[in-house]
Structure 1
Amino acid sequence: MPWPFPATARGTEGSGSAERSGLYVREGYGRMLGAIGLDEVQEAAYRALVTLGAADVPDLADRLSLHETDTERALRRLEHHGLAARSSARQGRWVAAPPGVALGALLTQQRHELEQAELAAALLAEEYRAQVDEPSVHDLVEVVTGAGAVAQRFLQLQLGATQEVCALVTGRPTVVSGYENDAEEQATARGVAYRVIVERAVLDLPTGLLELSTALRRNEQVRVVDRVPTKLVIADRSLAMVPLTSRDAEPAALVVHASGLLESLYGLFASVWREALPLRIGEDETLETQEADGPDATDLEILSLLLAGLTDASVAKQLDLGLRTVQRRVKRLMELTGVTTRLQLGWHAYERAWVAR
C-alpha cells in the first residue's frame, strides 16, 4: 500500500560465468546451496560430479562450458568444503563426496554459526537496552537525510517490528507499493499487525485501490479520513519516523526512540484512528468504508460465540477464520467501546444490544 517514505532503487545482480554459459537454462539448475557458502559455479561443478561420479578437469570444464582454470579453481573450493576429492584410482580425476554426509556436516556447521549469531544479537540487544534505560536527551532522536538512507531506515523499522506497525499516510506520499514491499509482506507473515490510516485522496491515486486491496487481503486494518495531520510510522510503540522536509526538498526524516515525544506521536495516531472509518472489501471486490460505531455481522457472530464460552481458536474454527483475524476483530471492538478487558466488552455488547441483534 502507499507508504510515507521512498524506496531505494532496486539493483540487479550480475550474471556469473556459469549463467552466461547457459548451464542453468540447459539443465534447469536453480541455486540451492548458496546458504552453505557455494557460489553458482561451485554448485554446478558439484552437481556435475554427483551426476558423473568422477571426471577430470577437461571433461568437467567442457560440461560446464567453463575454462579449465575456472573449473579447477571451483574444484579446489569444493575440496576445501569437503565436497570433492582427487581420485586415488586415477590421477587427474575428481570424485564427489557423498551428499548426505558432506552436506549434512556443512548444514550442521551453518546451524551452529547461526545459533552463535543469534546469541550474539541477544547479548548486544541486552547491552543496548541497558544503555538506553536512562538515555541522554540527545539520543532520543536521530536525523536521517537522503532518499536512500530514509528508505533503508523505514524498511529496518518494519523488519524489526515484532507486534504492530501503525502509520498515517497522506495523499501525496512518495509511493512504496505494498504489494512490492517485501518488508511489509515479511512482517505480516511473521504475525505483525498493521494499522494504517490513509487520506481519502489516496483512493484517487493511480494504484491506490489496488494497493489498499492488497493490504486488506493480508488482514491489515485500514481506515480512511478526509485528511491526516502528518506522515507517520510507529513500530511496537518504541520507534517512530516522521518527515522533516517538504515534498520538493531532499528527503529527511526524524527517527524518535521511546520517550515522551514518542508517546505523544502514538497518542496522535490513536486519536485519528478513533475518528477514522474502517475500510473493507465488499462482496463485489470494491472498497467500502464502514461506520466505526458498531460491529458488522462477523463481529456479532464472534461476540456471540465468545460469550457462549468458546476460546478464540474455537471461534476461528467455527467461523472458518484465521485466529489472528478473530483476535484483531475483538481488539477493534474493544477500541470502539473504549474498554481494556474482554469482560468489559461483554458488558458493553449486552448494554448496546449488539448480541441481541
Structure 2
Amino acid sequence: MLGAIGIDARQESAYRALVALGAAEVTDLAHRLALPEGDTESTLRRLERQGLAAQSSAGAGRWVAAPPAAALGALLTRQRQELEQAELAAGLLAKAYRTEAAEPAVHDLIEVVTGASAVAHRFRQLQSGATTEVCALVTGQPVAVTGTDNEEAQVHAARRGVAYRVVIERDALARPAGVTELAAALGRAEQVRAAERVPTKLVIADRALAMLPLAERGAEPAALVVHPSELLESLLGLFETVWREAMPLRLGVHAQVTEDQAPGPDAVDLEILSLLLAGMTDTSVAKQLDLGLRTVQRRVSGLMELAGVTTRLQLGWHAYEKGWIARGPEPVRAPESGAGSAPRWGPAPGTG
C-alpha cells in the first residue's frame, strides 16, 4: 500500500508492527515478523533513513516508530513535488514534440513494431496511457499478447476510470479461458458485444492512437501503431460500424453466456416510420396518431441514433434493410393534404 512512496513490503510490515507496539527490541520485532534478526535490523536502518523509525534512548537495540502523520506526510509531500516536476518536464517535452511535429511526415504517422515482446510491451503501453476510453476488436487466438497480460492492463486502466468497449468474435468464447475472461471484463463494468466475424484485431486508445496486427502467421509478430491521421479516422469508423452491428453480451446463471436482443423500434415507432415514408409531415403524423409533435420528433431522433445515421433519408434505407418496414407498394396511410409544412423525410412528390 505504501509502495507508491518508496516503501517496500518488508519495510511496511516492520513499520506497521512498530507502530502497533510503539517501541520494540530487535529480537521481539524479528520474532513478530518471522525474519532473522540481521534482516530485521537492516530493515529498521532503512526505515531510519526514511525518517520512519529511530533508535530509542531507553537502550541499545530498542526502536520506536516515528508518528505516521508527520513521517508519512513528509514522504507524501516529497513524492508530490517529484510528480509535479515530472509532470512539468512531460509538458515541456510534449510542447517540444508538437512544435517539431507541426507538419509530421508520413512515416511519423505510423510506427512498425516488430517482435512478440515489443508488440506486447507497446500494447500494454497503449492501454496504460489511456485516460478516457479504450475500444477493441478481438478475434482469434492471442499471438503476442496473452490473455493474462491483457487482463492486467485492463484492470489497471479500469481503476483509473477508463471505459472499455469491446467486440469479440463468437469463436473466441470457445477458448478455454474465453468465458472466464468475459466474466472478468463484465465484472469491471466493461461493455462487451459479440459478432459472428470481426475484420481485424484492433485497439484504439482515447480515439488518438490505434494498434492493429501487421503479421502474425508464419512470420515474426508485428503490428502497426497509427497516430492521428485519416487512417486513424477510418479505423475509428470501422470500429463504430462493427460495434453497432454486434450483440451485447451478459452472463446468466452458471456463467451461461447470453446475447441481448438488438434494440429495435416499438409498434409506435414503426407506425411513425410508415407514415413518414408515405409522405406525411411530422405535424400530420402527430395528429394522425394523437401524439405531440415533440414526441414524434423525439422518436424519430431516437430511431436515427439507433440506426447510426444522420439523415432521415438514410434512416429510410436502414428501415428497409433491417426489415423494420415491409417493401410493399401500397402506403400504410394516405398523407393528409394541406396540413403542416412540406415533408421533411425527402423530396415532396413531383419535385424530383
Q: TM-score, normalised by structure 1?
A: 0.64
Structure 2 partner of 1:22: none
Aligned to 2:175: 205
Name the residue aligned to 1:127.
96
Pairing partner for 1:158 from 116, 127, 148 = 127
Whichever residue aligns with residue 336 of structure 1, its letter is: A
Equivalent-residue separation in structure 2 for 1:214 and 1:92 (angstroms): 49
The 3 A distance-change label for structure 1 pair 280 and 52 is closer
Is the 8 Å Cα contact of residues 26 and 61 (structure 2) preserved in structure 1? yes
Aligned counterpart, 1:181: 151
Equivalences for 1:293-332 in 2 at 5 Å? 293-294=264-265
Query: For 2:138, which of 154, 169, 176 is the aligned residue?
Result: 169
- Match of 1:270, SS? helix
Q: Distance in 2 between matches of 1:139 and 1:80?
A: 47
Are the structure 2 counterparts of residues 332 and 51 from structure 1 closer, same or farther at C-alpha, using a change threshold of 3 Å? farther
So what's the TM-score if we normalise by structure 2? Answer: 0.65
Letter in 2 for 1:50: V
Q: Structure 1 residues 217, 49: closer, same or farther in 2, change over 3 A?
A: closer
Question: Separation in 2 of the partners of 1:214 and 1:56?
Answer: 46
User: Percent of counterpart pairs with the same letter?
Assistant: 60
* Cα shift readout 1:265-306 (whole Å, capped 9, x = no counterpart): 2233334344x232233876541253365489xxxxxxxxxx
Comparing 193-202 and 131-140, the one that deviates more:
193-202
Aligned partner (choices 206, 209, 226) of residue 196 of structure 2:
226
Unaligned segments of structure 1, at least 5 residues = 1-31, 297-306, 309-329
Q: Is the 8 A contact 2:265 2:303 kept in 1?
A: no
Deviation at 1:335, TM superposition (A): 5.5
Provide the residue aligned with 2:106 in structure 1.
Answer: 137
Name the CA shift for 1:66/1:124 in 2 (closer, same or farther; >3 Å): same
1:291 alignment partner in structure 2: 262
Secondary structure at the counterpart of residue 168 of structure 1? strand
Q: Kindly provide the CA deviation profile for residues 196-232 of structure 1, in whole angstroms up to 9, marking residues without a partner as x.
A: 3333322433343443454345443444433232222
Indicate the SS of the match to 2:215: coil
Alignment check: 8 A CA contact 1:86 1:92 kept: yes
CA contact (8 A) 1:161 1:187 kept: yes
Structure 1 residue 140: Cα displacement: 1.4
Amino acid at match of 1:124: L
Q: Higher relative contact order by CA 8 Å / sep ≥ 6: 1 or 2?
A: 1
Whether 1:43 and 2:7 are equivalent positions in the alignment is no
The number of residue pairs the alignment matches comes to 281
Secondary structure (helix, strand or coil) at the match of 1:269 reads helix
> Residue 97 of structure 1 aligns with which residue?
66
| Aligned residues of 1:224 and 1:289 also touching (Cα < 8 A) | no
Q: What are structure 2's unaligned runs of at least 5 residues? A: 268-293, 296-300, 326-352
Structure-2 separation of matches of 1:40 and 1:189:
21
- Quote the offset at 1:150 in angstroms: 1.0
Is 2:194–2:246's contact at 8 Å kept on the other side of the alignment? yes
Is the counterpart of residue 336 in structure 1 residue 297 in structure 2? no
Corresponding residue SS for 2:185: helix
Q: Of 240, 247, 264, which aligns to 2:217?
A: 247
Choose the corresponding residue for 1:265, options 235, 243, 247.
235
Computed over aligned residues only, the root mean square deviation of the Cα atoms, in angstroms, reads: 3.8
CA deviation string 1:98-136 (max 9, x = no partner): 233222322332233333333333333333333333222
CA distance in 2, matches of 1:54, 1:167: 54
Structure 2 partner of 1:85: 54
Match of 2:3 in 1: 34
Q: Distance in 1 between matches of 2:188 and 2:128?
A: 16
Decide whether aligned partners of structure 1 residues 246 and 77 sit closer, same or farther in structure 2, where only a CA change above 3 A counts.
Answer: closer
1:226-258: CA deviation from partner (whole Å, max 9, x where unpaired): 323222222222211111213343211111111
How far the C-alpha of 1:143 sits from its partner, in A, is 1.5
1:166–1:234 contact (8 Å) kept in structure 2: yes
Distance in 1 between the 2:44 and 2:30 partners? Answer: 11
1:70 aligns with 2:39: yes
Worse-matched range after superposition: 109-118 or 243-252: 109-118
* Corresponding letter in the other structure for 2:155: E
Going from structure 1 to structure 2, the CA distance change for 1:294 and 1:41 (only over 3 Å counts) comes to same
Aligned to 1:299: none
Work out the CA distance in 2 between the residues paired with 1:169 and 1:182.
16
User: Using the alignment, how far apart are the partners of 1:51 and 1:155 within structure 2?
Assistant: 39
- Max Rg structure: 2
CA spacing shift, 1:91–1:251, aligned 2, 3 Å:
same
